[in-house]
Chains A and B, each alone.
Chain A
Amino acid sequence: MVPLSYYLILSAILFTLGVAGFLFKRNIVTIFMSVELMLNAVNLTFVALSYSLRQLDGQIIVFFVMVIAAAEAAVGLAIIITVFRNRESLNVDRIDLMKL
């Protein structure tokens, strides 16, 4: 039996990695993947807690998160493709036309 804390620590590490990738990567696809990583880190927490507390709520929420992540991925990828078609680049630092 793996203790709960292991799951939580793993989840925290994954989340932090996600945040780090989100902040420091320039490639928009990588950033997108970092977001997925963060989502899944949270999912792991939910599942672990759900298991240890013997409650199903957490697992249900995980399904929701996965559905939303899928939808988000669809929209996000569509945006990324459009951006790439227009600018021939995936570097977020060069996508800054919306500023004042």
Chain B
Amino acid sequence: MFNLPLWLIPVLPLAGAAWNGLWGKRYTERAVAAIAVGAVALSFLLSVLAFAGLGGEPRIESYGAWIAAASFQANFNFYLDPLSSVMTLVVTGVGLLIHIYAAGYMTREGGYYRFFAYMNLFVFFMLTLVLAGNYLLLFVGWEGVGLCSYLLIGFYFRKNDAADAGKKAFLVNRIGDFGILIALILLYWTFDSLNFSQILPRAAELPVESDAVGPLTLICLLILMGATGKSAQVPLYVWLPDAMLGPTPVSALIHAATMVTAGVYIIARSGPLYVHAPDAMFAVALVGGVTALYAATIGVVQNDIKRVLAYSTISQIGYMVMACGVAAFSAAIFHLVTHAFFKALLFLGAGSVIHALGGEQDIRKMGGLRRSMPRTYWTFLAACLALSAVWPFSGFFSKDEILWEAYSSPYGGVGLWLLGLLTAGISSFYIFRLFLLTFYGLPKTAADAAPEPAGLEAAHSAYHLHESPPIMTWPLILLGMLSLAGGWMGSPFLFGGSDPWSRFIAPAFQLAVIPGEGAPAHSAQTEHLLMACSLLVSFAGLFLALLLYRWRPALADVLQARFRGAYQVVLNKYFVDEFYRFLFVRPLVIGSSEFLWKGMDMVAIDGTIHRAARRTGRVGDTLRRMQSGNVRSYAGWMVLGAVLLIGFLVMWTV
């Protein structure tokens, strides 16, 4: 029963994608959705079976040689250990809920079958990525999700900015992919193999590169480069906010279940390499911590509901990367799981709101949705509390574990802990700002339109406010329950829990430990204290949001006016996009158009060919006059030729 081959898990969504992509146009929307959802559902079922059948040893299945060239060998092999098993569960489980939701959300949007073909393809590539048994196959999935993100972000390809956002996502990801590719070459060069089952144990035997920069450090830094692209970390995070131009379920899929978690996954998977390269480790922690704080600050002032969530994702992924950077891989993956729950919920809830408001995404124009959309309201609240890390919601456990590890791990320190703590407070603030502006107060646009505030009823009729259909709210409710309860699987000993999570995931990271270098002992008291700190900070953020956006709304404007300069800088995302455009995009565009296009192509290449053609034409023009059509002139030419030939022969022979 549990021995069903692993390849079925990714192949089912692939089959769904192929079916819908090739023949989906002929079927009704209902049939298309049934195929797509069914494929992911079956895949989820198989993932559960695989999870249940997981033994102590990683399960490796090989399906034959892929590339065999001299000593280089890459196979189609899958590798199932607790880490990849959890990842498949998240990808297919959360992916399934998003698919179901999308079946309701995408009706009457056009391109229904195309949408689901891409979505299934996305799930396929992500499953390939997490199940791959070697780095090369992982890279296939890695590139594949990049491709699918391009297709899905640019789904509304008639809108120019959506198409541009798709291109941006793809190009920025390519920069990171370049790093991964070099890392692959270095890995092969160092280990003569690309299989996890060979590399990881051998890496664990290598000495720690604490003094000199060796191949491991290089590999790890390059993998980090790839991860910053895929997981939207500083400095390659710029594609993710723009990715919001895709349909909302896509944002949920990219941000929660797939894609952005790939970077965290690859770092966690390469854990044994990282712990032997402390410098790279520190870089990872720094990138994660800085990204977490940086993105959170931008999230505070954004006004587009999906953009706030996008920056929140970047920030939360920053947490995970930071956790990887302090060798707390288990905590990182734990947060990845809980984040998948609540961030999928946030996006789907936001989609529900946008749906109800007929496409409005500006939170300043929202408000008062609490009564008309009770299910969305309650589930959204659960997600916000989870994101703010309020006990007993899932985010509390995972975030707290990360903060604790950041403080106590030999790789961490107070600095990282403070970064994380500050981010926690800001996260709590921006998410409740979003929440309060959306669900409380009066509907803004309607209030402006009607001189006499006619109350909620009028606003409802003006907007045709309505709760989303059950096909969209049920995934919300399920995700809400997961956001509420999902953290208990990792409840630490302090709460009397047995922490089944850590015990389960530990075998995946047993190689990612330097023997004899345990965490310095910290008392339970310290842990309690830190926990109290983070709870306090979360509530402080929540309270501040309540103060500014519920109790004293005028205060927000005053503050905004007072700190006008800073506000503008943050509102414009620290002008990073402009900076990149100035530093990279513009020189490239100018270089290619002025030099490569107008110089190389038009003058050197085309010019040469054009000149040759013109010259030939001119010669032909002259010679053409010989062909007068007059027989006697031909005769004359012939005689002339004969005379010359004979004369030449006579001269030659004499």
Contact = CB atoms under 8 A, between A and B. Distances in A.
A93 B628 CA distance: 11
B639 A23 contact: yes
Interface string B619-637: 0000010011111100110
Nearest to B632: A92
Contacts of A96: 628-631
Contact of A100 (B624, B631, B632, B636): B624
A73 B336 CA distance: 98
Interface in B588-608: none
A95 B628 CA distance: 11
Given A19-B639, A22-B639, A23-B639, A99 B632 contact: no
Nearest to A35: B635
Contact of A99 (B628, B635, B636): B628
Interface string B625-654: 001111110011001000000000000000
B629 A92 contact: no
Interface string A11-46: 000000001001110100001000000000000000
Contact of A23 (B627, B628, B629, B635): B635
A97 interface: yes
A31 B639 CA distance: 14
A99 B629 contact: yes
Interface residues on A, range: 10 to 19
A41 B635 CA distance: 18
A53 interface: no
Nearest to A99: B629
Interface in A57-100: 92-93, 95-100
Contacts of A23: 632, 635-636, 639
Contacts of B627: 99-100
Contacts of B629: 96-100
Given A19-B639, A22-B639, A23-B639, A93 B624 contact: no
Nearest to A92: B631
Contacts, number: 31
Interface size class of B (residues with CB under 8 A): 10 to 19
**Chain B binding surface, main DSSP class:** helix
B624 A26 contact: no
Contacts of B635: 22-23, 31
A61 B68 CA distance: 70
Interface in B409-451: none
Contacts of A97: 629
B45 to A, nearest CB: 78
Nearest to A28: B631
Nearest to B643: A19
Contact of A93 (B632, B636, B639): B632
Contacts of B639: 19, 22-23
Nearest to B638: A22
* Most-contacted residue by chain A among B627, B631, B636 (CB, 10 A): B631
Contacts of A19: 639
A23 B629 CA distance: 15
Contact of B630 (A22, A24, A99): A99
B407 to A, nearest CB: 91
A100 B636 CA distance: 18
B627 to A, nearest CB: 6
Contacts of A93: 630-632
Residue with the greatest number of chain A CB neighbours at <10 A, chosen from B624, B628, B632, B636: B632
B642 to A, nearest CB: 9
A96 B635 CA distance: 13
B329 to A, nearest CB: 81
A26 B633 CA distance: 11
A26 B628 contact: no
A24 B639 CA distance: 12
Given A19-B639, A93-B631, A99-B627, 8 more contacts: A22-B635, A23-B635, A26-B632, A31-B635, A99-B628, A99-B630, A100-B624, A100-B629
23 contacts: A19-B639, A22-B635, A22-B639, A23-B632, A23-B636, A23-B639, A24-B632, A26-B632, A31-B631, A92-B630, A92-B632, A93-B630, A93-B631, A93-B632, A96-B628, A96-B629, A96-B630, A96-B631, A97-B629, A98-B629, A99-B629, A100-B627, A100-B629
Interface of A: 19, 22-24, 26, 31, 92-93, 95-100
Interface of B: 624, 627-632, 635-636, 639
